[in-house]
Amino acid sequence: MNIAIITSGGDAPGMNAAIRAVVRSASGQGFKTLGVEKGFLGLIENLFKLLTPRDVSGIINTGGSILKSSRCDLFKTPEGLEKASENLKSRRVDWVITMGGDGSMRGALSLSEVSGIPVTVIASSIDNDIAGIDETIGFDSAVNTAVQAIDKIRDTAVTYDRVFIVEVMGRNRGFLALEVALASGAEFAVIPEHPITVEEIAKRIKQMGEIGKRSSIIVKAEGAIGDPFQMASKLRELTGYDLRVTVLGYIQRGGVPTARSRNLACLFGKRAVELAAERKKNRIVGLKDGQVVDLNIREVCESIKKIDDEKYELVSILAI
Amino acid sequence: MNIAIITSGGDAPGMNAAIRAVVRSASGQGFKTLGVEKGFLGLIENLFKLLTPRDVSGIINTGGSILKSSRCDLFKTPEGLEKASENLKSRRVDWVITMGGDGSMRGALSLSEVSGIPVTVIASSIDNDIAGIDETIGFDSAVNTAVQAIDKIRDTAVTYDRVFIVEVMGRNRGFLALEVALASGAEFAVIPEHPITVEEIAKRIKQMGEIGKRSSIIVKAEGAIGDPFQMASKLRELTGYDLRVTVLGYIQRGGVPTARSRNLACLFGKRAVELAAERKKNRIVGLKDGQVVDLNIREVCESIKKIDDEKYELVSILAI
Amino acid sequence: MNIAIITSGGDAPGMNAAIRAVVRSASGQGFKTLGVEKGFLGLIENLFKLLTPRDVSGIINTGGSILKSSRCDLFKTPEGLEKASENLKSRRVDWVITMGGDGSMRGALSLSEVSGIPVTVIASSIDNDIAGIDETIGFDSAVNTAVQAIDKIRDTAVTYDRVFIVEVMGRNRGFLALEVALASGAEFAVIPEHPITVEEIAKRIKQMGEIGKRSSIIVKAEGAIGDPFQMASKLRELTGYDLRVTVLGYIQRGGVPTARSRNLACLFGKRAVELAAERKKNRIVGLKDGQVVDLNIREVCESIKKIDDEKYELVSILAI
Amino acid sequence: MNIAIITSGGDAPGMNAAIRAVVRSASGQGFKTLGVEKGFLGLIENLFKLLTPRDVSGIINTGGSILKSSRCDLFKTPEGLEKASENLKSRRVDWVITMGGDGSMRGALSLSEVSGIPVTVIASSIDNDIAGIDETIGFDSAVNTAVQAIDKIRDTAVTYDRVFIVEVMGRNRGFLALEVALASGAEFAVIPEHPITVEEIAKRIKQMGEIGKRSSIIVKAEGAIGDPFQMASKLRELTGYDLRVTVLGYIQRGGVPTARSRNLACLFGKRAVELAAERKKNRIVGLKDGQVVDLNIREVCESIKKIDDEKYELVSILAI
């Protein structure tokens, strides 16, 4: 069996650990793995290379993807998919394993339809917003990176009695922000799923000031409220406090993966190869209720993941 | 309601985050929290102090326990338990929350029997060996500390073509070692649950050498095989390789807790207070199947946790 | 002798280690140390508290300042200085030790003139822009924080063949940016001391692309060129590359100080107390040519520190 | 000009950054660089490979040596040196740059004598024990690794009122231990240069206990006193305290180099190539009084580096 492996989505720490797991699990089963470079673009541009167990040595603890990735609009066109399909067939690829989140699932599904070659998606995303899946590869790493940054920022917040708005990633969802807010002991988690006005935040900042708490951290999801600098201006006006903004940005996507991100990558990679061996097609692999599961990609694409409301409330309960 | 909180077991990163969660959740419910210093010893020596939400400020990201801890043999005697019981009653304590692993559970149960005061245990342990519970506070932190250390050691292993034995903690179980071995890409996980002889290890080291892999990492649980230095001598003799040993030791117990350890601490602490509010007595709080659960302490004490055999095998599959 | 200690400038990791060093060195000489809270503002508002060797326990590895700090415009007025002077005298303060950079030096000098009380400044600043001084407390920590962030960003840059502009602090100087650029292996150090146009940068990016180097990191000092997002737009236009921006911001000011920042803090703190003991007044303590030195504050205020041109060129030499 | 580059000594974080600096600086001068694998052994076994600027891409932040290293007794024999000399000549090598400490200097000198090919040594060593040189590549990284480990250990020490002996590397000298002790706020630096008996340590531990300080950290150089476990037994006996031991071991040799180790590597690497260009032979490059200097290797070999006694005393002054 020939497996093609692609890292197609936004990068997430642990992708390389998953590539290693796929290549070595496949080798253990007697399968051959072809790495596709530059994501879906590489399918179109015919960028394949054989990956042996030795080729994935020393990458378990590295960020980024050794296969590189790219945004590829061409892949959304019938011509792009047709070309990708041709290339896969000329390489005699029997199965495609791709890593990513939402966009990767949809791309993989289209590819499978056009080419007839089954796909498996390994859930990898720092946004952790895939329905039916509790945790994706890279999420734990991004949470820790953001939390470590906020630990530093809090030193300044406390020293100067300042309020900081820290914007974290997460696309249009608040999973990353919520997890970061709880772990950093933030006073506010501002996320799209729980709309709050700047006025309400201002009110609570002033209340906290009255009981002697003069510094605070607002963890804001990039998808919530809008521009953090405008939000800061308004809060400054409403509260009279010294407001500062830090947009964490791309540091959340890279870096040495945490142990947990690596271990999920090992487990997911192994399962993805098992699905190929079992000819169980068009599944996405992720963690659910503490177990590695595989779900029907189409169903996952059509569902929306719910935020944990109790966890959201816990941020406020613990920020007194 | 008056809640006494105790950190009684071996220390684990995230204990302070749990203290914060208990104190603030309790305050939110209108309960008062008394911190007991020095673990069970403080119960006997009457070392109580009121903890307000402000007292637990700035501790979410610190290692150790602000309440301190100690080994206390006296607590295992009827006199010790009687004295502890008296002190709790004289302080009008209605509920005891204690943090720890195996020993803490047993101690808490005895205390409840003697005093009639209900207890809740918050599962905290870097060993992660509590039956029925998938994850305790501190485990993720200890795993990451060990993995980061091994990342460093591997630099030397690869540079000099050496084999390293790295001994990690875990008492008489292999949960910590197994998780660390997988995440660090170790070639061997030597754990009590899967006995292996030094001869077998030597054989595989030589086989790997023949396919060009001349450095490797053996992650050894402290409870497996015996003295790592003797093991190294024997392996050196059997293989002719350059063998080195590092015993990671106490660095695994301390340090800034990971985001995950902090968040489990927040969730467990909140649940422990809820159990007190609901008068649901003598339960241990932990993570099971991705959910926060509470289990009957006695039943947990009488059961033995199983190791994940598939994960164990995965270490070998991925180490080719 | 009564020493007052103040953290007056922007915060820098290692300030707490320096407070510890001053208090304990002073105690060793039989001197008493009074901590002034909230920087120069605390002098005006009479916020003094006695600091004993036990009070500074456990702070050597913490960011921020246990004494807090603040911006204080009032301190620049004759009334403010007069009030501060009165308060110092009513507390029988014989010597003032303050920690900070440029602004702190000037403030300290004014205070000494008005009050007649001698001052010592401990050079603390992540900007490292004090004339005559090679290294201040906190600089090494800020450099490492920025470099670790860029290590993460580079993972994404390489994976996607992107160019990143990473803005670091440094006020109107480029010392921090230059050190960070060299250590992170950045392709460009854009600093105020070496003006470069966006066109020139674009030209070099394209040249590098021709020899196959398609990702790069531009470390930009906040004081150079102007808005990083406008710079990115222009570069995108000129090169056709995928350009991204990260402004590191306040994470550079906080966090656990590096060993070096702590050790400079120990050495500088001890020397500051020695200067008080020797009645050598109005000096600033810092590192020069690998040695702890003390310089005349006024002379330092009137000089301008030179950037290391060879180091600047080395960034380009090594970025091929 | 053809330059051969060798990593011959114990590994130190930053060696790869120095290889990168040499290769790219050499390329900038029009020189060719040949990497020699496995240290001096590779000279004998003829393991040369061309290194281009692209070959050293992405290594600035990695531990270990991409060229590998080894202990090589054969190199100390006339036959070994003769063979190495032959191989160098057959490759038309004009200059040898080697990285390491004491052993590397002596080896390089012998090689130069036998072969007539000039050498440059880049001072790289976590021991930092080279006479005339204040700082070597890797020292700052090893110090930080050890200090971060002790930060974790102190959490346990404080929580349980324990005394920890932490053994750090440094061969027969105390430079690493002293720097680590100061930065970690240790109560004791036990180093070969300042002999102290276990009885004296016990006495001071008891004195500290009387003023309420019941936990402490003893940083012990591997070259001082002897076996740390025996030392612990004796201290336990003499003080009645709970004593524990951690031997940090090989984690000190690897890992991501600090910004400072990387920047010294950049500067030293560049200077080494300049010395080749200038035909200034048999020099060792290091940091002295804050400047990059080059010294006569033979003179350095014959001298002994002094420990900083003031720094040693400062540990005690600040540990009150």
Interface of D with B (CB under 8 A): 7, 11, 13, 62-65, 68-71, 145, 149, 151-156, 158-161, 164, 244-247, 249-255
**Smallest CA–CA distance from A135 into chain B, residue:** B290
ipTM of the complex: 0.97
Q: Which residues of D touch B160 (CB under 8 A)?
A: 11, 68-71
Q: pLDDT digit string (tens) for B45-82?
A: 999 999 999 999 999 999 999 999 998 889 999 999 99
Strand locations in A70-185 (E): 95-100, 119-123, 163-168
Measured distance CA(B22)–CA(B19) in Å, rounded = 5
The pLDDT of residue C71 is 85
**Residue A125, domain CATH:** 3.40.50.450
Spans in chain B with pLDDT lower than 70: none
Per DSSP, the three-state class of A117 is: coil
Of B27, B179, B314, the CB nearest to A259: B179
Report how many domains make up chain C. Answer: 2
Structural domain including D220 reads 142-253
The residue-averaged pLDDT of D284-290 equals: 98
User: Per-residue confidence at A244, pLDDT binned at 50, 70, 90?
Assistant: very high
Same domain, A114 and A29: yes
**Smallest CA–CA distance from C250 into chain A, residue:** A153
**Smallest CA–CA distance from B261 into chain A, residue:** A183
Hey, are the CB atoms on B152 and D245 less than 8 Å from each other?
no
Q: pLDDT digit string (tens) for C73-132?
A: 899 999 999 999 999 999 999 999 999 999 999 999 999 999 999 999 999 999 999 999
The residue-averaged pLDDT of A61-84 equals: 95
Same domain, D100 and D232: no
Same domain, D58 and D165: no
In a domain, A86, yes or no: yes
Chains with 3 or more CB pairs under 8 A to chain D: B, C
In a domain, A320, yes or no: no
The pLDDT of residue D211 is 84
The owner of tokens 């403010």 is: C80
Same domain, D118 and D57: yes
Hey, are the CB atoms on A154 and C254 less than 8 Å from each other?
yes
Q: Which residues of C touch D60 (CB under 8 A)?
A: 183-185
Same domain, D80 and D210: no
Q: Would you say how long chain A is, in residues?
A: 320
Same domain, B8 and B65: yes
Assess whether pLDDT exceeds 90 at residue A211: no
Q: Which residues of C touch A145 (CB under 8 A)?
A: 152
Same domain, B54 and B125: yes
Mutation target to probe the A interface, by most A beta carbons within 10 A, among C251, C253, C256, C258 is C251
In a domain, B99, yes or no: yes
Chains with 3 or more CB pairs under 8 A to chain C: A, D
What is the CB neighbour count within 10 angstroms for residue D310? 11
Q: pLDDT digit string (tens) for D36-55?
A: 999 999 999 999 999 999 99
Average pLDDT of chain A to the nearest whole number:
97
User: Per-residue confidence at A71, pLDDT binned at 50, 70, 90?
Assistant: confident
**Smallest CA–CA distance from D143 into chain C, residue:** C259
How many alpha carbons lie under 13 Å from residue A146 in its C-beta half-sphere? 39
Does this model's pTM top 0.95? My answer is yes
In a domain, C320, yes or no: no
Q: pLDDT digit string (tens) for A79-97?
A: 999 999 999 999 999 999 9
Chains with 3 or more CB pairs under 8 A to chain B: A, D
Distance from the A232 Cα atom to the nearest Cα atom in chain B, whole angstroms = 24
Same domain, C235 and C293: no
CA torsion, ordered B244, D8, D264, D119, to nearest 10 deg = 170
Active site residue D127: yes
The residue-averaged pLDDT of D213-240 equals: 96
Chains with 3 or more CB pairs under 8 A to chain A: B, C
The pLDDT of residue D320 is 86
High-pLDDT (> 90) share of chain A, %: 96
The residue from B11, B127, B140, B294 that is catalytic is B127
Of C28, C317, C319, the CB nearest to D320: C28
Q: Which residues of C touch D63 (CB under 8 A)?
A: none
Q: Sort residue D128 into left (φ over 0), alpha (ψ -120 to 50) or beta.
A: left
The pLDDT of residue B50 is 98
Of C11, C152, C158, the CB nearest to A145: C152
In a domain, D314, yes or no: no
Structure-token pair, residue A307: 């935020």
Hey, are the CB atoms on A260 and B262 less than 8 Å from each other?
no
Of B53, B260, B320, the CB nearest to A27: B320
Measured distance CA(C113)–CA(C101) in Å, rounded = 19
Q: Would you say how long chain B is, in residues?
A: 320
Average pLDDT of chain D to the nearest whole number:
97
In a domain, D319, yes or no: no
Q: Which residues of B touch A320 (CB under 8 A)?
A: 24, 27-28, 53
Q: Which residues of A touch C70 (CB under 8 A)?
A: 160-161
Same domain, A133 and A167: no
Output the CA torsion sign for B99, B104, B107, B112.
positive
**Smallest CA–CA distance from A11 into chain C, residue:** C156
Same domain, C41 and C129: yes
Interface of D with C (CB under 8 A): 20-21, 24-25, 27-28, 53-54, 58, 60-61, 134, 140, 143-144, 147, 151, 158, 179-180, 182-185, 212, 256, 258-260, 262-263, 266-267, 270, 287-291, 311, 314, 317-318, 320
Output the CA torsion sign for C46, C47, C49, C51.
negative
Measured distance CA(A316)–CA(A299) in Å, rounded = 34
In a domain, B314, yes or no: no
DSSP structure class, residue D320: -
Q: pLDDT digit string (tens) for D1-13?
A: 999 999 997 899 9
Q: Which residues of B touch A256 (CB under 8 A)?
A: 151
Assess whether pLDDT exceeds 90 at residue C212: no
Close Cβ partners of A113 (under 8 Å, ≥ 6 residues apart): none
Mutation target to probe the C interface, by most C beta carbons within 10 A, among A66, A67, A150, A159 is A159
Same domain, B166 and B249: yes
Q: pLDDT digit string (tens) for A27-61?
A: 999 999 999 999 999 999 999 999 999 999 999 99
The pLDDT of residue C2 is 98
**Smallest CA–CA distance from A141 into chain C, residue:** C152
Please list the active-site residues of A: 127
Q: Would you say how long chain D is, in residues?
A: 320
Per DSSP, the three-state class of A32 is: strand
Measured distance CA(B22)–CA(B10) in Å, rounded = 19
How far CA C31 is from CA of C4, C5, C23, D202, in Å, comes to 11, 12, 9, 28
Q: Count chain C–chain D contacts defined by CB atoms under 8 A.
A: 120
Assess whether pLDDT exceeds 90 at residue C320: no
Same domain, C184 and C151: yes
Q: Which residues of A touch C153 (CB under 8 A)?
A: 250-251, 254
Close Cβ partners of A264 (under 8 Å, ≥ 6 residues apart): A14, A135, A136, A137, A140, A287
The owner of tokens 């947009």 is: A247
Close Cβ partners of B293 (under 8 Å, ≥ 6 residues apart): B132, B133, B285, B286, B287
High-pLDDT (> 90) share of chain C, %: 96
How far CA A246 is from CA of A166, A219, A282, C252, D167, in Å, comes to 5, 10, 40, 11, 40
The residue from D102, D127, D134, D294 that is catalytic is D127
Hey, are the CB atoms on A24 and B147 less than 8 Å from each other?
no
How far CA A306 is from CA of A173, A312, C166, in Å, comes to 10, 12, 35
Hey, are the CB atoms on B24 and A256 less than 8 Å from each other?
no
Q: Which residues of D touch B164 (CB under 8 A)?
A: 250
**Residue D224, domain CATH:** 3.40.50.460
Choose the final residue of a domain: D191, D222, D253.
Answer: D253
Assess whether pLDDT exceeds 90 at residue A212: no
The candidate with the shortest Cα–Cα distance to B3, out of B72, B63, B91, is B91
Choose the final residue of a domain: B236, B253, B270.
Answer: B253
Q: pLDDT digit string (tens) for C152-210?
A: 999 999 999 999 999 999 999 999 999 999 999 999 999 999 999 999 999 999 999 99
In a domain, A319, yes or no: no
Q: pLDDT digit string (tens) for B229-264?
A: 999 999 999 999 999 999 999 999 999 999 999 999
